[in-house]
């Protein structure tokens, strides 16, 4: 690939004179967020007009009057950053139930609690006299609103449309929560795209040859790997894989655990409590750890400096940290990315020798250890790092915004669906309509019939997952097509249509071809699905494939036998006179066959 232009994406410094529909691209990140657009034929990061900063910290601080302050400069002495009102990593809580998200509390310096519905979590903010609650959607909308203001200040006109990126493994609940946050911020989110997909656009700009590329995205909150094929100017996503619960935050938390253990041994203070002052120390520690990790990407040693407050005194603590220690802590997390990479290769049905380029995305990829490890995974292929890894996703979002606004039309991206979409059939067996890794948008149709006589309705049960039986997959929606004319089993013709759009929204239609009666449902998210359950679907599908197929064959044979039995019984009832003309031996054999 020709990276001579990609390596230096321009910083927006003046407005374009060409009037087009204004669409911005937003990378709503776990630790930092960015906004971009297409400047002529290149993506550009929109900097803050006052400070010149290219990225916004994905943090919200609530002051004593509960006024939110977004992306505050952590070096400002007047800002009490060591506070349980300093909200960070909110992306980890998006679209998640409290039962799932409560496990994060140990690593958060702010409190989370159940909402009134007991389905989603809320962030608990207290100023000492009053306590208020905010959803992750509301807090994310504050970050998006700030980025919207950056863009409006730059363009000197309102901005109402946006493309927002999400991790590839975000489930329906999380994607919808992101859309809702955008809407709350005054943005019409016209496209939700996967972060690796956006990064592929950024690294594919000004490409000059075909090839197969791996996008290795190791960010603050998620890890994603995508395999893309470049063919005569067309991007095609061959496969995606990853882990929604693996990122730089996990390395930070491991460092935090080590330091907390050191504090307990040295000072006999256990900070793993809910004491407010301890939460303050944790917040300060997280900030210092993140900075130390960045420092060690450029140097061999650094210090983590923070204030340890007790009831009687305040101590300034300096904790020495070197790159070797950081590597030892980070390596187990980095090693977890290998399985996802190999699985993506398997899904794409290619070998490492087929890969022509690897591109790095996400702040963790600055670590020399990561670059070395990725090189080893892909048989010595040195990864591309021409782009600022923190900006690649935002630049890709800007390109996609340019495509949707009609500013550029030389990029075609074919995305894929990460999990199979099916409906339930007789015996609890699934019938896949849209297979995993199918290119989207996609439309699939299949005809079904009834399994019992005189049915006046048919239940359509939509599921998601890789297993052969409904009970082992995730239920998405269930509705009934009725009324349909009562007929013998097998005669009704029910056409089921799945339409999966670019945003991952599934519309399901069921139509009785005899009467034209039709029912439709758009799959809505179900809050409370654990991220780990989504990730486990793929692994469970592979681990149980052989057993599932055997059980499926048995279930299908059983259903077929039951159908034959029913047909024999009906025939005996309808043809009793003929049956009576048979010999006793023939009648006995028929009845025995029916019985068995």
Q: Which residues are designated catalytic?
A: 27, 91, 195, 217
Asked if residues 63 and 164 have their Cβ atoms less than 8 Å apart, the reply is no
User: Measuring CA to CA, how many Å separate 274 from each of 107, 257, 476, 549?
Assistant: 11, 16, 38, 50
Asked if residues 489 and 563 have their Cβ atoms less than 8 Å apart, the reply is yes
Residue whose tokens read 């900070």: 271
Q: What's the token pair of residue 547? A: 């057993």
561: Cβ–Cβ under 8 A, 6 or more apart, which residues? none
Residue 134's Cα: distance from chain center in Å?
22
Q: How far apart are CA 397 and CA 193, in angstroms?
A: 8
Q: How far apart are CA 182 and CA 184, in angstroms?
A: 5
Question: Which region holds residue 486: left if phi is over 0, alpha if psi is between -120 and 50, else beta?
Answer: beta
Asked if residues 414 and 403 have their Cβ atoms less than 8 Å apart, the reply is no
Element containing residue 433 per DSSP (H, E): strand 430-434
Burial of 221 (0-12, 13-18, 19+ CB in 10 A): buried
Asked if residues 488 and 139 have their Cβ atoms less than 8 Å apart, the reply is no
Q: How far apart are CA 341 and CA 377, in angstroms?
A: 8
Q: How far apart are CA 447 and CA 512, in angstroms?
A: 10
Task: Provide the strand spans (E) within 328-418.
Answer: 357-361, 412-416
157: Cβ–Cβ under 8 A, 6 or more apart, which residues? 22
H-only helix segments in 504-583: 531-543, 545-574, 576-580
Q: How far apart are CA 152 and CA 158, in angstroms?
A: 5
- For β-strands 23-27 and 32-39, DSSP reports them as antiparallel
DSSP code per residue over 18-87? S----EEEEE--SSEEEEEEEETTEEEE---TTT--S-EES-EEE-TT--EEES--TT-TTS--SSTTEE
Burial of 588 (0-12, 13-18, 19+ CB in 10 A): exposed
Residue 252's Cα: distance from chain center in Å?
21
- For β-strands 32-39 and 56-57, DSSP reports them as antiparallel
The total number of residues shown for the chain amounts to: 596
Asked if residues 40 and 20 have their Cβ atoms less than 8 Å apart, the reply is no
Residue 494: helix, strand or coil by DSSP?
A: strand
């Amino acid at each position: 690939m020709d990276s001579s232009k990609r390596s230096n994406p321009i910083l927006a410094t003046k407005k374009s004179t060409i009037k087009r529909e204004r669409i911005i691209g937003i990378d709503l990140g776990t630790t930092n967020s960015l906004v971009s657009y297409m400047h002529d034929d290149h993506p550009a990061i929109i900097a803050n007009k006052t400070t010149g900063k290219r990225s916004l910290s994905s943090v919200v601080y609530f002051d004593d009057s509960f006024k939110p302050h977004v992306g505050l400069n952590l070096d400002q002495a007047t800002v009490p950053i060591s506070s349980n009102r300093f909200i960070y990593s909110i992306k980890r809580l998006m679209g998640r139930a409290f039962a799932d998200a409560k496990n994060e509390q140990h690593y958060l310096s702010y409190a989370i609690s159940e909402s009134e519905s007991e389905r989603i979590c809320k962030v608990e903010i207290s100023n000492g006299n009053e306590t208020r609650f905010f959803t992750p959607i509301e807090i994310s909308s504050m970050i998006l609103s700030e980025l919207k203001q950056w863009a409006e200040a730059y363009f000197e006109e309102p901005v109402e449309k946006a493309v927002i990126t999400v991790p590839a493994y975000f489930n329906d609940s999380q994607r919808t929560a992101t859309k809702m946050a955008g809407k709350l911020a005054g943005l019409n989110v016209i496209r939700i795209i996967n972060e690796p997909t956006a990064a592929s656009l950024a690294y594919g700009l000004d490409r000059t040859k075909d090839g197969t590329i791996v996008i290795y995205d190791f960010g603050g909150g998620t890890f994603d790997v995508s395999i893309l094929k470049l063919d005569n100017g067309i991007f095609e996503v061959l496969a995606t894989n990853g882990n929604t619960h693996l990122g730089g935050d996990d390395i930070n938390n491991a460092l935090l655990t080590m330091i907390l253990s050191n504090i307990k041994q040295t000072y006999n203070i256990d900070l793993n409590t809910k004491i407010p002052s301890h939460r303050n120390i944790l917040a300060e520690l997280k900030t210092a750890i993140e900075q130390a990790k960045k420092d060690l990407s450029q140097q061999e040693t650094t210090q983590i400096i923070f204030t340890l407050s007790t009831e009687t005194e305040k101590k300034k603590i300096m904790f020495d940290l070197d790159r070797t220690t950081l590597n030892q802590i980070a390596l187990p997390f980095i090693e977890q990315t290998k399985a996802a990479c190999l699985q993506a290769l398997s899904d794409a049905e290619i070998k490492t020798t087929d890969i022509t380029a690897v591109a790095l995305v996400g702040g963790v990829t600055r670590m020399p250890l990561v670059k070395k490890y990725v090189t080893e995974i892909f048989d010595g292929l040195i990864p591309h790092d021409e782009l600022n890894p923190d900006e690649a996703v935002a630049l890709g979002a800007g390109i996609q915004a340019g495509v949707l606004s009609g500013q550029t039309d030389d990029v075609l991206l074919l995305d894929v669906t990460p999990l199979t979409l099916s409906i339930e059939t007789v015996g609890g067996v699934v019938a896949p309509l849209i297979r995993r890794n199918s290119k989207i948008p996609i439309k699939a149709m299949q005809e079904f019939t009834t399994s019992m006589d005189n049915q006046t309705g048919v239940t359509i049960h939509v599921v998601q997952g890789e297993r052969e039986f409904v009970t082992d997959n995730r239920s998405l929606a269930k509705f009934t097509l009725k009324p349909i004319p009562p007929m013998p089993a097998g005669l009704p013709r029910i056409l089921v249509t799945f339409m999966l759009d670019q945003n991952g929204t599934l519309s399901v239609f069921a139509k009785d071809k005899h009467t034209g009666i039709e029912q439709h449902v758009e799959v809505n998210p179900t809050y409370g699905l654990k991220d780990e359950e989504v990730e486990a679907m793929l692994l469970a599908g592979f681990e149980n494939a052989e057993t599932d197929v055997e059980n499926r064959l048995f279930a299908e044979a059983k259903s077929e036998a039951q159908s034959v039995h029913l047909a024999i019984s009906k025939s005996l009832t309808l043809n009793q006179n003929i049956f009576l003309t048979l010999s006793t031996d023939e009648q006995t054999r028929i009845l025995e066959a029916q019985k068995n």
